[in-house]
A and B are shown apart, each in its own frame.
Chain A
Amino acid sequence: MKKQLLDNASDTSLDRVDGAVKVTGTATYSAEYLVPGLVHAVLVTSTIAKGSITAIESREAEAVPGVLAVISHLNAITVPGWPERKQPAERVPVGTALRVFYDPLIYFDGQPVAMVVAGTREQAVHAASLVRVTYQQETHQTHFEKNIGKAGVALNVQRSKNSPFQDYQRGEAAKSENTEVRIEAEYTIPTQHHQPLEPHAIIAVWEADDKLTVYDKNQGVKSAQGQLAQAFKLPRENVQVISKYIGGAFGSGIRVWPHTMAAVMAAKQLKRPVKLVLGREQMFTSVGYRPYTVQKINIGATKDGRLIGIVHEGTGQTSMYEEHLERTVLASRTLYACPHVATRYRLLPLDVNTPTWMRGPGDATGMFALESAMDELAFALKMDPLEFRLKNYAESDPERNLPWSAKSLRECYELGAEKFRWNNRMQAPRSVTQNGLLMGYGMASSLYGFHRHPSKVRAVIQADGSVIVQSATMDIGPGTGTAMTRIAAKVLGVNAKKIRFELGHSALPDAPGQNGSATIPSVGSAVHVACEALKTRLVALAREMSERFKSGGQVVVRNGQVYGSVDDKDGVSYADILKYHHLNELEVTEESKSGAERDQYSMYSFGCHFVEVLVSPLTGEVRVTRVVTCADVGAIINYKTARSQSIGGVVGGIGMALMEHSEMDHRFGRYVTTDFAGYHIPVHADIPPIEVYYIDKPDVHVNPIGSKGLGEIAIVGVAAAIANAVFHATGKRVRELPITPDKLV
């Protein structure tokens, strides 16, 4: 029954609306705009992790033909939105974004200290190699375990009583200590980097002294516009940010990073358009990362498998100048019906750059610990891990004591288990081999909070009946334009080919950046509302044309025409309606946002993953051989692109579980993994067939389209499912990611 629904959905899926430009190489990414007079910038970065610059010797670099400037704190323009530089410089208070070329202080290895601008990239690269920077070095601390004693409650949390990151307790905190069956364990995830295939890039163009255009790789043109306007004390409308095609980001583009400011400053200083493309090695220190995190879980249950208590503590790494907080421990409050729960979250500031949100931020990290611990406890209870989860299924939100807006996690478990053939699982670990390899099954749950932000959409119907829908939303890869086109087509009864969705430009109507799985819930709702409003206007105009359309609620739209009733054979086309009324076009702009329902229901996306692994008993090599992933995200808007997003999440999870690890040489506080040879991400040969299933049942309480976010839950839990499968295959529990062969032999 469910399978049929999915097949139907896939049959009517739209191909990506930008498919043709992407497969022909004509989609324009940030570094690819043709701007007359463009010059090229290359960053010089610090080679110490803490201290200050004592001198910058740039004469040799400046002498290179083609070089226009070597910019550093010694000669950079003053950014009007930044406070005056102090002399001598003092370390900034916590909570201050790094100001590039502002003072001589060094906060981490890889910090931009100078930038060479030249006529060609080759000239700039060569000259950058000639810049000599000397430092007064101070002792740095980058080693997480050696410094864990310095972890504490974030200042932000201390100041905010209502912060979700406050210590939390329900029931008795110590209850899990005295249960019949108990697990206490520590789980570690290393620093992991987004590493989208497109390096971060910007072209900064000052059209006039007070008018700035930037083509920048980011996940939110509106927020970038606001931050740049603030920094340069310009009216918002004087700054335009364009980011139409984005070569992946996964969270690395949510903030305006120092390199973006550096390019904008250089363009202002030189009065030339400046292009800056980060090198792959700079991608490790310039655009954030998933923070190194250590978690302790103490979890207990009765002998028959009823959860009694969970204590979940997490400590994440941050920089010395900013606090990056994420949802690491929060899922433990929500996922299971458990009477006694306590969570604590701490930060450890180190001499590193600030981490940032990376796909499934906090939840992907926290769920690795929680769902590994659940698996450990199920094994201790001699229970099937899925049965154990079903036994502790939360029928309502145990944290907020509210009903779920909708939750079909049980159906996800059942459907996933059926497709995966979970019933074939042997309870005992290390009991199945295939061709000399150890085979294991693992599963884990996934959840991610529902986010919906106020969004505006403009919908315009033109004289020929074609439709333009606009919003300053983004597409880092999920297929935003395709999904929005689908929504508009359905509401207006217009063929998708006659609809053009425009995004990625800050001059378009307000929309949130693409993060937190919020795009479909937020912007999708606004597209729905705007197209409904446009349809209402068109129907009203049709009513003025003929008695036939005065039948109240009977009027329908399909094939770009208004009909008096469902059975009506003769409609009037949108084009004819406009023509009759002497209109060249008809335009509406509507806003859509959450209401009181947020206080009445608890809203989450749910899902689960089932994984089969084969492990070599000789080499410890782990191969994922089969994956079934199942999600409950309300209504699926466009099956084909949704499926790809789910597959992508699993692939990211395989990387997280088995290979991704940014390794630092703590003697220098410097990453030694600075390219794809050192930092491994999954390749074709690592990825097995991945089956994707959706419950596809609208959540009527969340928004007018009944759809919740998918991007994050696609990865949340995957690493735990793999770790659990590895345990089932080998009998060895690996609590520190990634699960590399050395940990299994």
Chain B
Amino acid sequence: MDIDHDATPPDAENEARRFFLKQSMFIAGLSMAPADLLQAALAPEDGPVGNAAKVKISLTVNGKRRRISIDPRMTLLGLLRENLGLTGTKKGCDFGQCGACTVHVDGRRTLSCLTFAAMQHGSKITTIEGLSSGDNLHPLQEAFIKHDGFQCGYCTPGQVMSGVACIREGCAGSAEEVREYMSGNLCRCGAYPNIVDAILEVKMEGLKV
């Protein structure tokens, strides 16, 4: 995995903790994280937040470095929506089953509802708000409008983030491939054929995504 040096915490201890956090996620999940880990992260000046103490993390969101104290129970989705006001990332199911909360973490599409914010120390997050800059839309955003790749618009940020990653991953070679690699992003309005058309057009035109 790429490490963004700008976002690397200043001391080695933090780096070790970050590594451990990632390890523990893969091995046993956060519930198994030992007490000393939480102790290390304790920020007494912030006081208790329920039955848990706050965790200080530093991460980059849409190119902006953020240092923040958070409840360790908070998901990345919660952090984005409730603490950072980035409500473009949508809460759909809380179980990683709908894809509405898709963001890019270090360039990979990630379900933010299944990701603890505390484990994103040092990560580089891109949300729908950071996909394009200024008044210029990303080519896939343009294509979604052109092909009417949405109705209510609620799954749209997740579809767009997933679609961009799908193209970057090289999984948008055909309609069939797009349908397969986009199947983690549900759309209840049923805009699927239009979404596929939008992704294929951007892919086929060879536009930079």
Residues of A within 8 A of B (CB): 15-16, 18-29, 31-32, 34, 64-66, 118, 120-123, 125-127, 194-199, 245-250, 277, 279-280, 475-479, 640-641, 643-645, 647-652, 675-677, 681-685, 687, 689-690
Contacts and interface: CB of A to CB of B under 8 A. Distances in A.
Interface stretch (B24-32, B35-43, B183-191): B183-191
Contacts of A29: 87, 90, 154
B82 A647 contact: no
Contacts of A245: 152-153
Contact of A197 (B49, B92, B144, B184): B92
B107 interface: no
A22 B153 CA distance: 5
Contacts of B50: 64-66, 118, 120, 122-123, 126-127
B151 A479 contact: yes
B97 A685 contact: no
Interface string B108-132: 0000000000000000000111011
Given A18-B153, A648-B151, A677-B97, A197 B145 contact: no
Contacts of B201: none
Interface of B: 47-51, 71, 73-74, 78, 81-82, 85-95, 97-98, 100, 127-129, 131-132, 137, 141, 144-146, 148, 150-157, 160, 175, 178-180, 182-196
Q: Which of A26, A477, A645: most chain B Cβ within 10 A?
A: A477
B180 A684 contact: yes
A25 B126 CA distance: 13
Given A123-B71, A126-B73, A683-B183, 12 more contacts: A15-B145, A23-B150, A25-B88, A26-B129, A27-B153, A197-B100, A197-B186, A249-B152, A250-B188, A477-B151, A648-B190, A676-B98
B91 A31 contact: yes
B179 A684 contact: yes
Contacts of A644: 148, 151, 189, 191, 194
Contact of B49 (A19, A28, A123, A641): A123
A640 B198 CA distance: 14
A122 B90 contact: no
A contact face: mostly helix, strand, loop, or mixed: loop
A684 B71 contact: no
A120 B185 CA distance: 28
Given A197-B152, A248-B154, A478-B151, A23 B144 contact: yes
A477 B97 CA distance: 22
Contacts of B146: 15
Contacts of A32: 81, 87
Nearest to A25: B88
B49 A675 contact: no
20 contacts: A15-B145, A16-B148, A23-B128, A23-B156, A24-B132, A29-B87, A29-B90, A66-B49, A118-B50, A122-B49, A127-B50, A197-B155, A197-B187, A198-B154, A199-B92, A280-B97, A647-B190, A676-B93, A683-B192, A684-B195
Contacts of A652: 188, 190
A219 to B, nearest CB: 12
Contact of A682 (B92, B127, B192): B192
| 8 nearest A-B residue pairs (beta carbon) | A25-B88, A651-B190, A247-B154, A22-B153, A477-B151, A648-B190, A477-B152, A25-B128
Contact of A34 (B85, B148, B152, B160): B85
Contacts of B184: 683
Contacts of B178: 684
Nearest to A476: B152
A675 B195 contact: no
Contacts of B128: 23-25
Q: Which of B82, B137, B185: most chain A Cβ within 10 A?
A: B82
B195 A195 contact: no
A643 B152 contact: no
Q: Which of A27, A277, A479: most chain B Cβ within 10 A?
A: A27
A248 B179 contact: no
B183 A684 contact: yes
Contacts of B141: 20, 23-24
B88 A649 contact: no
A275 B18 CA distance: 33
A120 B49 contact: yes
A577 B191 CA distance: 43
A24 B189 contact: no
